[in-house]
Every structure is written in structure tokens, then in C-alpha cells.
Chain A
Amino acid sequence: MSNQAVIPDPIVAGLARGWKVIDGAREDKDRALDADVVIVGSGAGGGVTAEILALSGLSVIVVEEGALKSSRDFKMREADAYPTLYQESAARKTRDKGINILQGRTVGGSTTVNWTSSFRTPSTTLAFWQQHFGLATYGEAELAPWFALMEARLHIADWAGAPNENNDLLRRGAQKLGIPTGLIRRNVNGCWNLGYCGMGCPTNAKQSMLVTTIPSALDHGATLVTRARAERLVLKGDKVESLDCILLDAGGLHATGRRLRLRARHYVLAGGAINTPALLLRSNAPNPGGRLGKRTFLHPTLVSAALFAQRVDGYAGAPQTVYSDHFLHTQAIDGPLGFKLETPPLHPVLLATTMQGFGPEHAEMMRHFPHLQGMLALLRDGFHPESQGGAVGLNGDGSPVLDYPLNDPVWDGARRALLTMAEIQFAAGASGVQVAHERAPRYASWNEAKAGIAALPFERHLTRVVSAHVMGGCAMGGTDGVTAPDGRYRGLANVSVHDGSLFPTSIGANPQLSIYGITARLASDLAQSLTGRPAARPV
């Protein structure tokens, strides 16, 4: 029985209804297209913007570097999912390869492959933005209706199911230590609780951009171009005249030699916080304050795995349902880096490559696969004065690369994070804990871990650091940001940025709902300014 026979595929149905979708890999000649607005990227920011603009009566073209894949393609296999749905086969790295970055590259962007965790922007983060970046209109009360709008649109709600054992061990271990935890809200509708969100939802329950805003925009006349890499904004004076795109072959690596030229009244950049600054850098765009591509944040993430007597089956069930923000609040927001605690789903490739070592020792760990529990600590970067994040630059071929130096404030946070995770895992009953560090053995007790982690060298490559959240690089500021509080790019009259690049710090929580809510507001203002009428509201 195939997936197609069981699950209706909204993409197949939409294409049959006559959606305007151009697969760049299949174009055999150069093309030019016009629209009111061109949107680069189909992820959280691009998807929300496309729907609001299309519902408001504007003609829209969405350009996506990845391919249009849908539930019929989502087979829950890492071997297929990573090369087809992620940037750089899920192996995108910072320049010195100190951090591995998970980021989507497919229609829907990272929302197609994320783990559904939905948090409003923390009030402490918004207060910091208001105080330090002049974002007076970014108060909790002003944003609340926009978060509520997108929560309704994307079915973001409390998750009715019980946490799987992987998550519940975080809850129970923390509880033993008196550390409060909460339950994560999720953007799902009719979730089967399978656990494969990271490989594309096979049942279309995840309310990603792929199955919500993008289909809605296409139903309202938008055009989607896939396998098209936004190469360069052609500038004339203080305006963008056109966007040149390179078309890619079906594998998404090689240019076919065909090009696409897009013209519009307005351009919205939503390629994510690495690709958006890179497009502006390639285009020699004005560089407001010299800050374009600077202060890029990652929530540098530490990992700890623990062995339990009982089965954990970390691959099964909703991947992230329990969190703790306790260690975000134990010190000042701009003090030593705080961290959010969550769990990752455990799938064979993700686990085998994230955990250190090789040979018999690694094979022995993998034989315990169903009994392993994973924990993550996401460091909140961008608040401490010495936590300046990274800078996006260009390789010789124009492709983007993020230089993110791992410095002392990060390492200090990393050590505290590994200690905390090990303590919680032992409190939950672990018989052994292995933190992701090249020099860490498996610890057999909390006392052993405490002494061992305290003595570990914290250096790049030795401490394994990952990220799934890319933020900053086109930071908003009241008077001097790369972008203005309305998302307009300072220095280009007809360009807006609608993605995580806007954030002047990291969020301190999984960023998808921050992007949804904030870009819904920006897109509504943009629609009104382009049409002279109030924007339509997505429902």
C-alpha cells in the first residue's frame, strides 16, 4: 500500500486544479516574468507574506531554490530526506566547521522539516529589543494579535497527546531536581504522532507553509518557481529593477545554464538569515551601517545522550513536547548565556553522526539505540556584550558561508549546559550519560559526569555544536538597523526583508512562530501600502 493511496496529497490536487508552478529544472529556455511582488524563499516568512499579498489582490511570484516535494515523497527515510529537503544535505556548516546547521531547502523551507515547536517571541526578548534597538512597536501587546492570527491560521495549540518517553524523561528528571518544565505547543492538525516531522510530514498534519499559506497563495493566482536560485538583484539608483535567477537541475546542485529574470514593483527577501544577506552581498546592495550580514545568531546547541534500562524509542512520537526555560532566567538576560532545554528526535543517521567516536565504542552505543534518550540545550546568543554571533560572507563561487567564532561566553554556557543535561538525565534514572564531545567518555554517575565535564577542554570541533535556528544579519532597528521596524531595507526603496534575518538578537525559543507573527504584520502593512486598501486577513 503506498502513501498516495492512504493520504490525499494537497499538492497533487492543487497542480491538477491548475496552479501556476514552474519547475526551473525543466525549463529549456531563458524566461522573464512580471508581478507586483517577487518573494525570494517559500519558508516561514515567504509563505506568510505570499498568502497575505495574494489574498489582498496583488500578483505574486515566489522563488524557491529547492524542489516542490509533498506527502507522496515523504517516506520517513533519512537517506532521502536530508539530500532532498535540507540545505547542503543537512551538512551546512559554519566557515571553520565548528557548527553544523540544519536548515530546509524545499518548498515550505525549514517549516517543511522542522519539529513543530511553536513559541511566541519571549516577552524578555521583546523588552530587550525595545530597550536596545529602538523597536518601540515590538511590545508584547502590539504583537499579541499577530501571534493569535497565525496560531489560528496554523492550528497552533496545546498538544493533546502524552509526551513520548524521550520527552517525558526530560520532564521527570527536571522535576526530581525541582526544575520547572512546560509543554510545547505544536502547529499540527490531525497529527498521527509518528515522529518523523524532520523528514517531511507524510500525513500533511504538520501545518507547514507547504500545506497552508503556499497552497492558499497559489489558489489566489500566485506563481511558484522552484529550482531557481536568486542570484542577483539588479540595482538602478535606490531601487531594484529586476531579480536574476539561475535555474538548477533536478538534483539542485548544478546550473542548467537557463536563467530567469523577474521584475516587480516590490521585492521581499525571505531566504533565511544566511541566504538573504548573501543575496544582498552578491548584489552589491547598499550596506547600512556596515552591518549587513553581521550579528547572525544560531542558538548554538549542545547535545547529551543518556542510556536507560527501559525502552525510550526516541524515533517514535511527537519529537518535541517538553521544554524548560528555567536556565534562561537564572541570570540576567545579558549576563552569562542562558539556555533552553528540549529534546531531539533520535533517528539512526542523526544520532550516529551527532554523537562522537567510531569503531567498536560507537557501534556499542548504537546497539542501545532504543534505550537512548537525547537532550538539547539551546544557548541564547546575541544578548551578552561579547556574544556578537557570526557574519555571513561569500565563497569564491558566490555561495554563502557563515563565519561564527565560538568564543568564551559560548563555551562557558556550553559547559553549564552539558553539566545541567547530565544531571537531569541521571536524575531521571540514566545508567550512563554521554555528552557530545570528542573527549568525553560515557559517565556512569552524576558525580563522575560532574568532575568529567568540569575538566573537559571546550574548544571548537572537540565540543560538538549544532544549530537548527538561523537569525539576524538584516537586523531591524528604530533608527539605524539594516532594516527599519516595518521590514523595509534601508537604502533600497522597493525591498523588504521578511524572515529570521530581521531579528536583532536570537529569539531564545524556536523561531518559527516569531517569524510567522512578525512577518504577518509586516506583510499586512506592505499590502496596504501597495494597494491603498487594508490587507486581507488569512483565515
Chain B
Amino acid sequence: METTRRTFLKAGLLSAALLAAGGGWYRHTHPAPPRGFVLDGEARAALDAIVAAVLSGALPDAPADRARAIAATTARVHQTILGLPLTAQQEVQDLFGLLALGPARRLLTGIPDGWAAAKEADVAAFLQDWRVHRLSLLRTAYAALHDLVLGAWYSEPAHWDAIGYPGPLKELA
């Protein structure tokens, strides 16, 4: 894993070029949907994998419950994105477009095979690298994923018990 991480960490300039080119390619082949962000195929698998890593420690342990919680959170993230301004939706679309491209995924995240097969530790490793990366584009991409996933999880009333939050006064809510 260390080798993989170092490989993509060194690829700074190339990454930037690829980010630009890949975003453009994806935008060309996935023209901006007039009604907003679309999450499909490999992009959805990427988000599922990212949700699992970001929420590690908060997700339930039982495999079926965990899978259900991940799918529900991905759906909430999708809904959140659809509420963003159209310019922000396009930026997120470009990010997921890149993550869905095999070469970009390998170069920028070090995840070797498809997202469905990604190991949680590898996803966490790429998130940690993006978090403090010298390319500001990757730092902001990390920040967007951080806010989207954690916001989606903790806005759900079903997840409040686990953090000791009683929720708002029930008589008025």
C-alpha cells in the first residue's frame, strides 16, 4: 500500500493535468444534466466506498445493517448534492466523473481495481492523503466529501441516539 500511495503522491503535476483533462472528458461524454447531478455506475460505487471509510466507527457492525446504512447514506449525499447551486453540482459531477475513470482512480487514489473491490484501509489512506495534499484541488475535494458524508450521516435522526443527542423538543418538531 505504501508503494501505491507514494506513486500517486509523486504524481502531482500529472495529476493536475489529468484532473483537468479527465474532468473535461467526463463533462464531454456526460453533458451537464439540465436538472442537476447524476450519480450512476462506478461513481455510485466510489461514493459507497468513501461513505464506508468516512463513517468507519459510526456504521453498524452487522454486514447487512452496514450495507443498508451505506446505501441510505449515499442516497442522502445524492439528495444533498441535488440541493446545491448548479455550479457546485457541476464541480461535484466532475469529481465523481474522475473517480469513475479507471486511470484517474489509480493515479489519484491508488485504488488498484474497481471501487466495489476497494479495501476500506486503502480508501481511508487516499482520503488522508487528499486531506493534506499539496494540490489544493485534492484538499478541496476531500473537504467536500468530508462535509457531504458526515452531514448526511448526522442529519439523520436515527443516528442521534448513538451520540447522545436527544433531538429538538418533540412538541414543536
Contacts and interface: CB of A to CB of B under 8 A. Distances in A.
B29 interface: no
A89 interface: yes
Interface in A339-383: 348-349, 351-353, 356, 358-364, 366-367, 369-370
B150 A76 contact: no
A526 B91 CA distance: 43
Interface string B110-151: 000000000000001001000110001001100100110111
Contacts of B57: 359-364
A412 interface: no
A363 B69 CA distance: 15
A91 B88 contact: yes
B155 A348 contact: yes
A363 B85 contact: no
A399 B85 contact: yes
Given A76-B168, A462-B132, A399 B87 contact: yes
A374 B66 CA distance: 31
Contact of B127 (A254, A358, A366): A358
A352 B164 contact: no
A359 B173 contact: no
B163 A369 contact: yes
Contact of B124 (A1, A88, A359, A364): A359
Interface stretch (A77-85, A108-116, A165-173): A77-85
Most chain B beta-carbon contacts within 10 A, residue among A83, A88, A352, A439: A352
A83 B154 contact: no
Contact of B165 (A79, A97, A369, A397): A369
Nearest to B50: A358
Nearest to A363: B57
A91 B84 contact: yes
Interface residues of B, number: 44
Contacts of A438: 131-132
A520 to B, nearest CB: 32
A77 B173 contact: yes
Interface in A1-33: 1, 3, 6-7
A6 B171 CA distance: 8
A309 interface: no
A228 to B, nearest CB: 17
A400 to B, nearest CB: 10
Contacts of B173: 3, 75-77, 202
A460 B136 CA distance: 9
Contact of B55 (A254, A363, A399): A363
A315 interface: yes
A89 B136 CA distance: 23
Given A89-B84, A399-B87, A461-B143, A362 B136 contact: no
Given A3-B172, A88-B88, A352 B56 contact: no
Interface in B78-93: 80, 83-88
A279 to B, nearest CB: 16
A341 B85 CA distance: 32
Given A77-B173, A348-B163, A359 B151 contact: no
A203 interface: yes
B164 A369 contact: yes
Q: How large is the interface on A (under 10, 10 to 19, 20 to 34, 35 or more residues)?
A: 35 or more
A253 B83 contact: yes
B53 interface: yes
A399 to B, nearest CB: 6
Interface in A81-102: 83, 88-89, 91, 96-97
A363 B162 CA distance: 10
Q: Which of B58, B88, B149 has the most CB of A within 10 A?
A: B58
B54 A359 contact: yes
A75 B171 CA distance: 10
A90 to B, nearest CB: 9
Contacts of A356: 131, 146
B164 A202 contact: no
A97 B173 CA distance: 33
> Which of B83, B149, B156 has the most chain A CB within a 10 Å cutoff?
B83
Interface string A383-402: 00000000000010101000
B107 to A, nearest CB: 21
Given A88-B84, A349-B155, A353-B147, A366 B168 contact: no
A203 B127 contact: no
Given A349-B150, A353-B147, 4 more contacts: A1-B171, A89-B83, A363-B56, A369-B164
The 9 A-B residue pairs with the shortest CB-CB distance, nearest first, are A363-B57, A76-B168, A360-B57, A348-B154, A79-B155, A83-B83, A369-B163, A461-B139, A363-B58
